[in-house]
Amino acid sequence: MGLRIEYSRDAARILARIDRATSKRIRKKVAQLAAEPETLANNVAALKGDAGLMRLRVGSWRVIFTRDMLVLEVVKVAPRGSAYERSM
């Protein structure tokens, strides 16, 4: 059994605004990360300077998230160039 997935308001808004295929691909990768994190180990890394924040690469998009024993919380979804700006 995987982790429960929660999306922040900003992340859900971005996923609703981008094209359907990209949104679907991102949601599928997040679900895969929650169910089987070892399968995406090459695309996940801890963010320096932000305790507990991790990033998942999905093509040219980045998913910033936190994870504990029960919940995977998606904090931000953004294109690669603007994903690491401090406006969270």
pLDDT in tens, 12-34: 999 999 999 999 999 999 999 99
Amino acid at 38: E
The values of phi and psi at residue 26, to 5°, are: -65, -45
Question: Is 60 contained in some domain?
Answer: yes
Domain that holds residue 69: 45-82
Residue 88 banded pLDDT, cuts 50, 70, 90: very low
Q: How far apart are CA 60 and CA 73, in angstroms?
A: 20
Predicted structure pTM score: 0.89
Question: Is 49 contained in some domain?
Answer: yes
Query: How many domains would you assign to the chain?
Result: 1
pLDDT in tens, 22-79: 999 999 999 999 999 999 999 999 998 878 899 999 999 999 999 999 999 999 999 9
Question: Is 23 contained in some domain?
Answer: no
Question: Is 74 contained in some domain?
Answer: yes
